[in-house]
């Protein structure tokens, strides 16, 4: 079976580099120009994609939650609804999508409700993300799957049964599915990441591309995930971790994202093909450190070589020490000087 996903012409499979998603979310703080700065920085860092979040807030939240007072240091409104509306983009998505294309980035978004999914589909988004909180929302999953575009599922807080249900719900309509291991904790401590779930997913879902939605503050765990088989890496991204907003503190700044992309690219080539063989880059060091069989002292022609006549010394380039047993007991055809290499053609 082949696990393969294609998003906006970019192929993601077991042989590919990680598809790195810079999760902008609402770190743009409701400002279009800030969003563009984030996009530009993500492109400069080597990310493949940028992702936003789309909500129809009045339809999504109960009136009680929408009208709930929301007065603290990260608030952009007096109520939770006002806060969310301040951070929401509408037709700005068209301008941002065009700008992302100029930068060579794929842009898409998480759809939190039917209306938002419709909105994104009308803009011809190349993929859809489903947040962990909607993994059990089968009506929304079916609706998103119906657009026939790749669907990426986050699985924070889920049981394997929840993941199987969500996968089957989408795959019955649309086989283009990726599954991300995720821990819905912001930030997530390393001991809560359970990266071996990536192996579980790869065994249980042989046709799905597997990845990691990484809420840990550092960059090392994403490389571990790649080695385990994750081929999509999603990481929250900001320009300044001290900015106002709940997601900035565990997001990567540009220097971190750049290093993350660098390390993931290195991981693919470092894994190699699994065939153990000498490499050209090793020749110099192994010649210097290696050993060959040489005469322990001046050995006249006719000497029958015995213990102590032949020793192993650096550099290499001659008979390796494992040939010693084939050399002992044989007669020299010619004289050997001290440290001169022993060769089979010099032996009777």
Render each residue's pLDDT in the chain as its tens digit; 348 residues.
Answer: 689 999 999 999 999 999 999 999 998 999 999 999 999 999 999 999 999 999 999 999 999 999 999 988 888 999 998 899 999 999 999 999 999 999 999 999 999 999 999 999 999 999 999 999 999 999 999 999 999 999 999 999 999 999 999 999 999 999 999 999 999 998 999 999 999 999 999 999 999 999 999 999 899 999 999 999 999 999 999 998 888 887 888 899 999 999 999 999 999 999 999 999 999 999 999 999 999 999 999 999 999 999 999 999 999 999 999 999 999 999 999 999 999 999 999 999
d(CA 334, CA 300): 7
Give the pLDDT confidence score for residue 211 in this predicted structure.
98
Which tokens go with 73?
């240091």
Name the E strands within 74-150: 106-111, 128-130
Give the pLDDT confidence score for residue 16 in this predicted structure.
96
What dihedral angle (degrees, nearest 10) is formed by the CA atoms of 9, 10, 14, 16?
A: 130
d(CA 261, CA 252): 12
Report cis status (omega within 30 of 0) of the bond before 315. yes
Per the DSSP assignment, residues forming a β-bridge with 154 are 180
Backbone angles phi, psi at 311, to 5 degrees: -130, 165
Select from 241, 242, 245, 247 the least CA-distant residue to 74. 245
Give the pLDDT confidence score for residue 1 in this predicted structure.
62
pTM, full prediction: 0.90
Cβ–Cβ < 8 Å for 228, 216:
no
CATH class of the domain at 7-271: alpha beta
Helices (H), 32-78: 32-45, 57-60, 63-66
Fold annotation for 280-346:
Type Iii Antifreeze Protein Isoform Hplc 12 (3.90.1210)
Q: Where do the domains of the chain lie? A: 7-271, 280-346
- CA 125 to chain CA mean position, Å: 22
| 7-271 and 280-346 have identical folds | no
Name the E strands within 184-247: 209-214, 232-236
Which tokens go with 47?
């990310």
Q: Which residues does 280 contact at the CB level (< 8 Å), separation at least 6?
A: none
């Amino acid at each position: 079976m082949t696990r393969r996903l294609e998003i906006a012409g970019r192929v993601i499979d077991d042989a590919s580099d990680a598809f790195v998603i810079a999760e902008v979310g609402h770190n743009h703080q409701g400002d279009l120009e800030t969003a563009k700065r984030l996009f530009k920085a993500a492109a400069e860092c080597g990310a493949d994609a940028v992702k936003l979040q789309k909500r129809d807030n009045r339809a999504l939240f109960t009136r009680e939650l929408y009208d709930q007072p929301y007065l603290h240091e990260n608030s952009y409104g007096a109520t939770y609804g006002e806060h969310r509306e301040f951070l929401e983009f509408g037709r700005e998505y068209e301008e941002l999508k065009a700008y992302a294309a100029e930068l060579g980035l794929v842009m898409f978004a998480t759809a939190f409700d039917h209306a938002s999914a419709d909105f994104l589909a009308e803009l011809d988004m190349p993929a859809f993300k489903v947040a962990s909180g909607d993994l059990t929302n089968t009506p929304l999953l079916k609706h998103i799957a119906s657009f026939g575009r790749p669907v990426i599922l986050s699985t924070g807080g889920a049981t394997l049964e929840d993941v199987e249900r969500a996968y089957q719900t989408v795959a019955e309509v649309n086989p283009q599915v990726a599954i991300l291991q995720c821990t819905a904790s912001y930030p997530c401590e390393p001991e809560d990441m359970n990266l071996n779930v990536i192996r579980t997913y790869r065994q249980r879902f042989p046709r799905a591309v597997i990845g990691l939605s990484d809420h840990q503050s550092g960059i090392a765990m994403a490389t571990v995930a790649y080695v385990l088989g994750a081929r999509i890496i999603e990481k929250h991204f900001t320009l300044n971790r001290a900015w106002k907003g709940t997601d900035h503190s565990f997001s990567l700044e540009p220097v971190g994202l750049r290093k993350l992309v660098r390390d993931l690219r290195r991981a693919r080539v470092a894994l190699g093909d699994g065939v153990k063989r000498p490499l050209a880059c090793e020749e110099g060091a192994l010649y210097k450190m290696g050993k060959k069989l040489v005469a322990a002292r001046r050995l006249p022609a006719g000497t029958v070589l015995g213990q102590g006549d032949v020793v192993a010394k650096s550099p290499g380039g001659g008979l390796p020490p494992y040939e010693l047993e084939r050399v002992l007991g044989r007669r020299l055809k010619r004289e050997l000087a001290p440290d001169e290499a022993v060769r089979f053609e010099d032996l009777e």
